[in-house]
Structure 1
Amino acid sequence: MAGKLRIALDAMGGDRGPEEMVAGAVLAVSQKDVAVTLLGDEARIRAAMVPHRLPAEIASRLEIVATTQVVAMDESPFEAIRRKKDSSIVRAFALHKEGKVDAVVSAGNSGATMAAALKYLGRLNNISRPGIASAFPTMKGPVVMMDVGANVDCRPRHLFEFGVMAAAFSRVLFNIERPRIGLLSIGEEGGKGNVLVKKSHQLFQQSSLNYIGNVEGRETFKGDVDVIVCDGFVGNVCLKLSEGLAEVVIAMLGDEIKKRLSAKIGYLLARDAFAAFQRRVDYAEYGGAPLLGLQGVGVVCHGRSNDVAIMNAIRVAAEMVRNRVNDHIIELLAADGFLVRVAEAADDENGPGAAG
């Protein structure tokens, strides 16, 4: 495995079990210049490998680290990582801290994933709240939304940091030199929104970031903005709403095609276009959501992730390491260091919860 990036994969995470995690790892090491360390029940992982009949060269890129505990999806995150030190997700971040892997991917309990990441890796300097970013398809290209669930109660400083981190991610992963940043609100005017949005708007206006102002929810999928900033409560609602809408649209199209002969004929003629559309809105194509603001790299995946989603999550993790996303975050923060101090002072002056 010398010379290859090493990605730790929580093989016990997700709704589909180790079989899907192993399948995703096999796809990743077969197509990408990475090695994968699978953590979990060794017997189940080895059993899941059998059907793949791996050549020796591919098998050599897969390593198993046996663990005896699993964090369930409904467990309290901080309680779980305290009690289950030999769980697959906790051991994965412990390996990252020790330098034995370069990044961690998990489709398990996202709260526990973030909690373990914070415990073992810690935050980047000048980042008060690490968060979760997610890429959405739009008419023109991907848009990155942050935060989508890690921080439900935020202050202006946190939203400003989310903008910096998401911009760095967008610049590195999607090759956008100066990502256009919008603040999610109920109107485009700067005076619209709650206290949190209004104060955050003022911070962004003073920054060196390519801030284009407030954006409404309907602008999300047009592709005229590269980064959308919001608190984790709003972001998670947007994420789940988008996933549900995509699934319903595809199901509705299928129902209408079945109703009429002319629609069936039209489908046969446009079958490739329908397949391309389905791929375009499929969360699996984007892999997972990066945990930004950590002294390391972590990616959380949808609980229903299939092998393709896991493969792409491993790809995202590897690209974050190779392209030094954290260095870009630190660089952007340094450019606006004065604003970070202003935001800190405002938080101290106003007291807890004053911004929200």
Structure 2
Amino acid sequence: MRTKVVIIGSGPSGLLLGQLLTNAGIDNVILERASKAHVLSRIRAGVLEEGTAALLDEAGVGKRMRHEGLPHDGFDLAFDNRRHRVDLHELTCGKRVLVYGQTEVTHDLMDGREAAGAVTVYEAGNVQPHDYDGARPYVTYEKNGNTHRIDCDFIAGCDGFHGISRKSIPQDAIESFERVYPFGWLGIVADVPPVGEELIYANHPRGFALCSMRSTTRSRYYVQVEADERVEDWSDERFWDEIRDRLPTATAEAMITGPSIEKSIAPLRSFVAEPMRFGCLFLTGDAAHIVPPTGAKGLNLAASDVRYLFDAFREFYIERSSAGMDDYSNKALSRVWKAERFSWWMTSTLHRFPDQGAFGQRIQHAELDYLFQSRAALTMLAENYVGLPY
């Protein structure tokens, strides 16, 4: 087989890139090691920046998102047994975020790809990129006992932190930066109404908590836990008791509880790999960077990578210019590091760290107190939360 772009990975970044390329008449094939059902079973991010939502509209898959997504003009920070609202809409001259689950984004993109007749190979085993540092790259994979080869012009590595794309690059050609946090997030999904109309981030002596949602009838809640905690040790009853202890009294009393339909613990880390281009191989999304989920930047940062990479491919094939590809890594990394800074700041401000002591807790309190006394500080928070411009 021959195509212009081979995309490794059918998560949101791979599917979004593929949809944009297909709409532009640029042939592409997606290779995914998991099954379609497994990809759709992943329950992850759910807060979309305006730029991400606009990109989904551009890809022609935004109709259901616009109908079912929940526009949010702000969110709450809870501390000292009170909720304090951050008015995103007012602080950013009319911008907002949209609550719409990553699973739904993936579903919409898959439907769009199938409608366009584009090729996706699921359960592709032993995917390997070859000769990406030369003029004739290709990718091999195994399916139904046979080895297949796809020749191409470019390879887009959209296969996540543990994928083969970054692992295929020689160690001396890539530099990694990482910070592993000494805690994780225990999260549950439950078919109960959210406790608030918007998200609530809580700083509490017992640890961080987050009240999020996927719809008006499905809630997503998190509490900070030790890094070595086991999900098996957390019954639903224990979880509900813990999160209510970390919320303001009035909010805790208003919370409706119910059986969880999904429960998991996610470790927190910050990670960046530089550069994001190696010859004809380009890294996007989690293949190149990870952010703590505190600032809701993971999916949105992957979308901004896709914005830059799609523009670069379009310039190459339609305008016959390689300038966008040459600038891809620098442009993407500039936005990546700003998002890393913001996610690190929110994580540091809202979580309890083992070594912070009484002094560190007072610093956190002063930081939060200052936020709501300074419009400039709140504007910084709001501008980053709704998403910096591409």
TM-score by length of 2: 0.29
Structure whose residues are more often helix by fraction: 1
Which structure has the highest strand share of the two?
A: 2
